[in-house]
């Protein structure tokens, strides 16, 4: 009996599958495990792109008027721009705005990469959506109420507004701390004058936008709150050093990075104690060293509008764009004037052709742009109609829930 049992054990051991063999299939004929690919689809896509297509993805442009005209069509068809920003000059009413957005998307059918379609929608006085929509309160008003849920709801409603037109990016919220009473440009665009309140409410607005699949672009790094010059007009200079920034202005941005912000806009501000030569928007010390290395941000960096007075009154716009990319920016924003938009694109193309921008540096930014478009599953699908009334119901419900908004906003 003992001998019989021993023989059965030996036979069972011989028939058992060896480690790593498929126990239910013949090892020669059974299903094989899938081969894991080491290739990155985005890297593969970049290898197929022309120089013009790559440079185009690093530019977001403005539009001349209410329609998709020859200039904007040229920016798409000839220069393959990565996206557009809609300004007040582009918006007359909801129907016209929807037609413009849909037209841009249809024109971009010649390209395989969908467009970023952005707007400045902060609430308060910085509002671009058509007048058919109820007013969104300013950040300052939201800060006075100081309610995280309200801030999230505001971000979500703005996201719904933008999504209803087929937009996919908002240049907001503002993470500047309004610390200088003489500041001519921020003021009620900020949630408040302390880092805590700006961080708390700014993050919730950002998360509300993202919940609607809208890319939130926080601004204006490294902080526009302590300036006394409007960068739309001239170049602000701020004497704060890195210690001060780390302990104050950078705190909301650091929190945004920890909470997975996708895009940060860099301001046209000169900080001579950090970089005495270049404004933040094309300063390697500020973008590559502070933002990328110290703060560990590997998302998309976009400049503020290169046609603002801070740049065009002091620098050649093409040279500034090239410097910005080499400093670590990924997208150059050019909001006005087709000649300036074309000059920026051509300067960047020439810089790559001559080696002033290396191909590795170019591809690095193209990768970040394409990865972000993939993350948000962007497409150029058109939107058939827009319904302001359904969104207005939600805005009006906010005023009912927070009566202080009524007093401060709907005057």
- Per the DSSP assignment, residues forming a β-bridge with 117 are 84
| Integer Cα distance of 326 and 288 in angstroms | 9
| Element holding 388 (H helix, E strand) | helix 388-401
The CB density around residue 238, as the number of other CB atoms within 10 Å, is 25
Q: Give me the catalytic one of 64, 230, 232, 350.
A: 232
Strand intervals (E) in 120-247: 169-170, 215-221
| Integer Cα distance of 335 and 25 in angstroms | 63
The CB density around residue 65, as the number of other CB atoms within 10 Å, is 12
3-class secondary structure, 245 = helix
- From first CA to last CA, the distance across the chain in angstroms is 100
Token reading at 4: 């019989």
Q: Give me the catalytic one of 226, 304, 305, 330.
A: 304
Token reading at 96: 């016209």
Contact, 53 vs 112, CB < 8 A?
no
C-alpha closest to that of 331 among 377, 276, 373: 373
Active site residue 232: yes
Give catalytic residue positions: 232, 304
């Amino acid at each position: 009996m003992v001998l019989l049992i021993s023989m059965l054990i030996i036979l069972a051991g011989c028939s058992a599958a060896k480690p790593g063999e498929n126990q239910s299939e013949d090892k020669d004929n059974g299903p094989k495990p899938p081969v894991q690919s080491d290739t990155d689809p985005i890297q593969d896509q970049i290898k197929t792109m022309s120089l013009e297509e790559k440079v185009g993805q690093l530019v977001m442009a403005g539009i001349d008027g209410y329609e998709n005209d020859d200039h904007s069509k040229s920016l798409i068809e000839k220069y393959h721009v990565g996206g557009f920003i809609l300004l007040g000059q582009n918006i007359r009413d909801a129907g016209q705005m929807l037609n413009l957005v849909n037209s841009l998307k249809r024109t971009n059918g010649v390209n395989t990469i969908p467009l970023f379609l952005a707007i400045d929608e902060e609430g308060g006085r910085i509002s671009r959506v058509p007048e058919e929509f109820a007013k969104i309160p300013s950040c300052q008003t939201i800060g006075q109420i100081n309610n995280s849920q309200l801030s999230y709801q505001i971000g979500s409603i703005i996201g719904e507004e933008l999504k209803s037109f087929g937009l996919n990016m908002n240049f907001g919220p503002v993470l500047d701390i309004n610390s200088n009473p003489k500041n001519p440009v921020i003021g009620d665009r900020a949630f408040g004058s302390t880092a805590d309140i700006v961080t708390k409410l700014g993050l919730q607005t950002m998360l509300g936008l993202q919940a609607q699949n809208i890319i939130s672009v926080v601004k204006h790094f490294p902080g526009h709150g302590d300036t006394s010059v409007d960068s739309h007009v001239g170049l602000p200079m701020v004497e704060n050093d890195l210690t001060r920034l780390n302990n104050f202005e950078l705190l909301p941005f650091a929190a945004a990075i920890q909470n997975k912000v996708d895009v940060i806009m860099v301001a046209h501000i000169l900080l001579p104690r950090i970089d005495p030569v270049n404004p933040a928007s094309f300063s390697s010390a500020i973008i590559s060293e502070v933002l990328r290395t110290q703060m560990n941000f590997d998302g998309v960096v976009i400049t503020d509008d290169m046609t603002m007075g801070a740049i065009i009154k002091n620098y050649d716009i093409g040279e500034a764009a090239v410097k910005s990319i080499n400093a670590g920016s990924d997208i150059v924003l050019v909001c006005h004037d087709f000649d300036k938009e074309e000059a920026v694109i051509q300067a960047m193309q020439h810089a790559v052709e001559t080696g002033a921008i290396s191909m590795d540096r170019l591809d690095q930014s193209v990768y970040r742009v394409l990865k972000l478009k993939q993350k948000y599953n962007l497409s150029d699908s058109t939107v058939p109609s827009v319904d302001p009334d359904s969104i207005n119901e939600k805005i009006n419900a906010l005023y009912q829930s927070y009566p202080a908004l009524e007093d401060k906003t709907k005057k």
